[in-house]
Amino acid sequence: MLGIIRSEWMRSRAMWGTWIMLGFVLLFYVGANILTLSYYRSEYGANEPEVNLAELGVGLLPAYLLILSLSAVRLSGSRGHNLHAQSFLVIPARWQQLFAQMFVNAALSMATMAVAVGASLAMVATLPQKMNTDQLPLLGWTILFAGLVSLMASAIGVLIPSSAGAVALPLVWATAVELISQQLSEWIAEHIAPYLPFNNIWMILGGNVSVGKHDTPVSVAIVVAWTVVLVAWAFLVHQRRDVK
């Protein structure tokens, strides 16, 4: 199994598009935080007693959307070009190949987000204000959710054969469907919207969510449940789908 993961990592390392996309994740997250933290050096924010770490999430939406796109296209693209079928000649079980792809996607996403968070914390450390350490867990959740978002997008890349569809669906879901669902009716906003994955991510990370809020463990459990269901479904489809 480790050999298959190593092989997937070597393949990913040679794909410049992957690193360019991850570079944009860093750019959007860190760049947004550079602008945000500049407030604390200005005459308006100089008197702030401490730095609000929740404000480091300004660039999260574009960063997560890039992770969604990258993870989905890496899975759907290999299937669209039938590249995954070639590996079946040397990999004894189909699930091992899919596990390796999802694992590498999630690891790359979490590592990139960890670097972005670390760079942002380094900038916070240079400010004259104190850091609100009570909010440090938010940064841990930021890294964890990068991995879960990647896994969900990877699963969608398996479930939808079209690369365009596999990329478009999670993007539209994250930016439009969950937001619109809050406005459709009071019943949906009360009974459905609070259990959608991205709404719960923003509940924890301090995003603008106009639905009922869960405690952090409940929101994490909801996001994990969505991830597990999508990944399990993807493995089932992957095992049963014919290879041409």
pLDDT tens, position by position, 110-123: 999 999 999 988 88
Tokens 């890039």 belong to 66
Give Dmax (Cα) for the chain. 65
| Length of the chain (residues) | 244
Which candidate, 171, 178, 186, 184, places its Cα nearest to that of 209? 178
Question: Is the pLDDT reported for residue 82 higher than 60?
Answer: no
Whole-prediction pTM value?
Answer: 0.83
Average predicted confidence (pLDDT) for the chain = 81
Structural domains counted in the chain: 1
Confirm whether 31 is domain-assigned: yes
Confirm whether 89 is domain-assigned: yes
- Rounded CA-CA distance 190/194 in Å is 7
Confirm whether 63 is domain-assigned: yes
Between 166 and 141, where is the model more confident?
A: 141
Q: How confident is the model at residue 89 (pLDDT cuts 50, 70, 90)?
A: very low
- Over residues 222-242, the mean pLDDT reads 88
Yes or no: say if 177 and 171 are a contact pair by the CB < 8 Å rule: no
Q: How confident is the model at residue 224 (pLDDT cuts 50, 70, 90)?
A: very high
Confirm whether 177 is domain-assigned: no
- The tens digit of pLDDT for each residue in 36-74 reads 888 777 766 667 777 777 778 888 888 999 999 888 888
Domain coverage including residue 19: 2-172
Confirm whether 127 is domain-assigned: yes
- Over residues 15-35, the mean pLDDT reads 88
Confirm whether 160 is domain-assigned: yes
DSSP reduced 3-state for 50: strand
Confirm whether 232 is domain-assigned: no
Confirm whether 26 is domain-assigned: yes
